[in-house]
């Protein structure tokens, strides 16, 4: 992966959810170290390319794995509902049903809880 556009395409081609390392993000950003300002820049760049990430605060170690997801997708809606409880989020969570949704919830639980 050599650009945020390529990364977004890879996430989209993986059903809107993909793992990557902080090292990959650091290289795409063209940064030397993963200090707090670089991680903030990476987070903003991901968002500007339609990508969200978990954990919400990007880790400082290049070996750490993060999950990327497409903003505005069903996965993003569920993540938002779990991380930011609200009545609307409760409706989103209640609306999930069936085996496909159970698989999605299992994936989200794995992302959020580790």
Instruction: Kindly report whether the peptide bond that precedes residue 98 is cis, defined as omega within 30 degrees of 0.
Output: no
Supply the pLDDT for residue 103.
73
Confidence of residue 12 (pLDDT cuts 50, 70, 90): very high
List the chain domain ranges. 1-70, 72-114
Supply the pLDDT for residue 114.
64
**CA-based max dimension of the chain:** 45
List pLDDT tens digits, range 64-95: 999 999 999 988 988 888 888 888 877 877 77
Share the mean pLDDT of the chain: 89
**Nearest one of 84, 54, 81, 83 to 69, comparing CA atoms:** 54
* Rounded Cα distance, 9 and 5, in Å: 6
| Strand ranges for the chain from DSSP E | 17-21, 51-54, 65-70
List pLDDT tens digits, range 16-72: 999 999 999 999 999 989 999 999 999 999 999 999 999 999 999 999 999 999 999
Supply the pLDDT for residue 99.
54
């Amino acid at each position: 992966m050599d650009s945020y556009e390529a990364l977004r395409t890879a996430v989209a081609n993986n059903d809107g959810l993909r793992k990557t390392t902080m090292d990959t993000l650091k290289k795409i950003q063209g940064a030397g170290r993963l200090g707090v300002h670089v991680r903030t820049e990476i987070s903003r760049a991901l968002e500007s390319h339609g990508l969200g990430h978990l954990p919400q605060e990007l880790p400082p170690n290049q070996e750490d794995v993060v999950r990327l997801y497409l903003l505005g997708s069903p996965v993003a809606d569920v993540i938002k509902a779990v991380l930011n409880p609200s009545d609307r989020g409760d409706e989103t969570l209640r609306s999930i049903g069936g085996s496909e949704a159970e698989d999605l919830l299992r994936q989200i639980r794995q992302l959020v809880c580790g």
